[in-house]
Amino acid sequence: MPHKVHVRQADRVIVVADGATILETALEAGIEYPFGCQSGNCGACKSRLLAGEVELQEYSEFALSDEERTQGLVLACRAMPQSDCKVAWLELDETVQHPLRQLACRVAELQQATHDIRIVRLAIEAGGPYTFSAGQYAAVAFPGQPPRDYSMANRPEEALLEFHVRAMQGGKVSHFVNRELKVGDRVTLEGPMGLAYWRETHGGPILAVAGGSGLAPIKSIVETALARGALQPIHLYFGVREERDVYGEAGFRALAERHRNLRVNVVLSEAKGPTKRRTGPLHEAVAQDFPTLDGCKLYLAGPPVMVDAAAKLAERLGARKEDIHADPFYSAHELVAKGAAG
Ligand SMILES: Cc1cc2nc3c(=O)[nH]c(=O)nc-3n(C[C@H](O)[C@H](O)[C@H](O)COP(=O)(O)OP(=O)(O)OC[C@H]3O[C@@H](n4cnc5c(N)ncnc54)[C@H](O)[C@@H]3O)c2cc1C
């Protein structure tokens, strides 16, 4: 008897005939299901059985261990449904390997984005080529200053490296950058670093959530995904305190005109006076819009408190832990304190 199988990443239901496998039926239906040997030996089509029952034809222990089987994993090329099922192939979380570089750069452009955020664009003079994945960061040393972590805001293909630096109250380096840095100054940089980078093979909806200068890595992720042809819904949530903290909006609105899959939400947490914008904590705006985040990828960047609240909400709404990629902007002092505590 044929059974219906819902394939999560494709969000499609296929009908698998008696004696047929999930993989062969999915491929015939034009779904880009990952696969390799098609004989149960390589494990490339390893999938999570989310609901229903399957019978597995013979396969090798190398492709699927007994432990994995008891955890609900199956091989799509060997799986014959015995009831209606739901499956999701495993995302092989592409581990990015970019060589760590020490770059000598020069400040090429400076732009005041808000009263306390300065955009710095650096031209690489030596030490390249510099490759990175959208969402990563670097340790940047401005003239006479100790190095601090700042996230690349540009797309990896672009020549100038872009950083958004918010002047933090009592902050040494961020104040220097906002008040004293000049075009032509020399800057050294070590990178790339960080794991909260854009996962290119994920086909589900993307929630890109930024607080303040957390927009930097989020901008890189959103622009890169769209430039590389991502077609899934991309929801940008940009949270700031009040109107004067909003920046970069025109660029995202223009991008949304060209890419109908991009939705831009700006949320003010401490609006002064009447406003047409959404107000309240950023994670609550997300909760209002999404009853479930099952199958979504989330990229979160900005103040640790905001990132933490958004990550907890995401888990509560059904996002898988491995689909939450967070970059809390801890200061050097907080990192030392956390290290000591840990
Ligand atoms: C992965 C990552 C990416 C980041 N990306 C960005 C980015 O793209 N843009 C951005 O603006 N920021 C980013 N940050 C934050 C950035 O690295 C800096 O922490 C920030 O700019 C502040 O640096 P500072 O030198 O100005 O502040 P610091 O001088 O380090 O001070 C930071 C805070 O700690 C307090 N402080 C300092 N010393 C002490 C002490 N001994 N005891 C108690 N309090 C103290 C200060 O008053 C201040 O409030 C990122 C951080 C991380 C970890």
Ligand 1 atom nearest residue 194's Cα:
1
Structure tokens at 161: 């490296």
Local confidence band at 93 (pLDDT 50, 70, 90 cut-offs) = low
Asked if residue 69 has pLDDT above 70, the reply is: yes
DSSP code for 321: G
CA torsion through residues 23, 28, 30, 36, sign: positive
Peptide bond into 192 cis (omega under 30): yes
Minimal-distance CA residue to ligand 1 atom 42: 333
Side chain identity at residue 122, one-letter code: L
Phi/psi of residue 70, nearest 5 degrees = -70, -20
Give the whole-angstrom CA distance, residue 48 versus residue 285.
31
User: What is the model's pLDDT at position 342?
Assistant: 37
Minimal-distance CA residue to ligand 1 atom 31: 171
Average pLDDT over residues 174-185: 98
User: What is the model's pLDDT at position 258?
Assistant: 96
Average pLDDT over residues 257-261: 96
Higher pLDDT, 66 or 122: 122
Minimal-distance CA residue to ligand 1 atom 45: 333
Strand partners, 193: 137
User: From ligand 1's centre to the CA of 218, what distance in Å?
Assistant: 19
Minimal-distance CA residue to ligand 1 atom 47: 170
> What is the bridge-based pairing of β-strands 46-51 and 73-75?
antiparallel
Percentage of the chain exceeding pLDDT 70: 95
Peptide bond into 81 cis (omega under 30): no
Q: Where are the domains of the chain?
A: 3-89, 101-193, 206-341
Average pLDDT over residues 13-20: 97
User: What is the model's pLDDT at position 341?
Assistant: 45
User: What is the model's pLDDT at position 339?
Assistant: 44
Residue list, ligand 1 pocket, CB within 6 Å: 137, 148-151, 164-166, 168-175, 194, 213, 216, 327, 329-333
User: From ligand 1's centre to the CA of 191, what distance in Å?
Assistant: 18
User: What is the model's pLDDT at position 144?
Assistant: 97
Check if CATH label 3.10.20.30 holds for domain 3-89.
yes
Distances from the Cα of 300 to the Cα of 226, 227, 328, angstroms: 18, 20, 8
User: What is the model's pLDDT at position 340?
Assistant: 43
Minimal-distance CA residue to ligand 1 atom 37: 333
Q: Which of 116, 148, 172 best tests ligand 1's pocket when mutated (most atoms within 8 Å of CB)? A: 148
Strand partners, 107: 122
Give the whole-angstrom CA distance, residue 245 versus residue 114.
6
User: What is the model's pLDDT at position 335?
Assistant: 63
Tens of pLDDT, residues 185-237: 999 999 998 878 999 888 899 999 999 999 999 999 999 999 999 999 999 99
For 206-341, CATH number out of 1.10.357.10, 3.40.50.80, 3.40.50.300, 3.90.226.10 equals 3.40.50.80
User: From ligand 1's centre to the CA of 301, what distance in Å?
Assistant: 14
Higher pLDDT, 119 or 342: 119
Ligand 1 atom nearest residue 169's Cα:
49
Minimal-distance CA residue to ligand 1 atom 43: 333
Asked if residue 5 has pLDDT above 90, the reply is: yes
Q: Has this prediction a pTM greater than 0.85?
A: no
Minimal-distance CA residue to ligand 1 atom 28: 171
Minimal-distance CA residue to ligand 1 atom 36: 333
Report the run of H or E that residue 304 belongs to, with start and end: helix 304-316
User: From ligand 1's centre to the CA of 333, what distance in Å?
Assistant: 7
Assigned fold of 101-193 = Elongation Factor Tu (Ef-tu); domain 3 (2.40.30)
Among 43-57, 90-104, 128-142, 260-274, which is the least confidently predicted range? 90-104
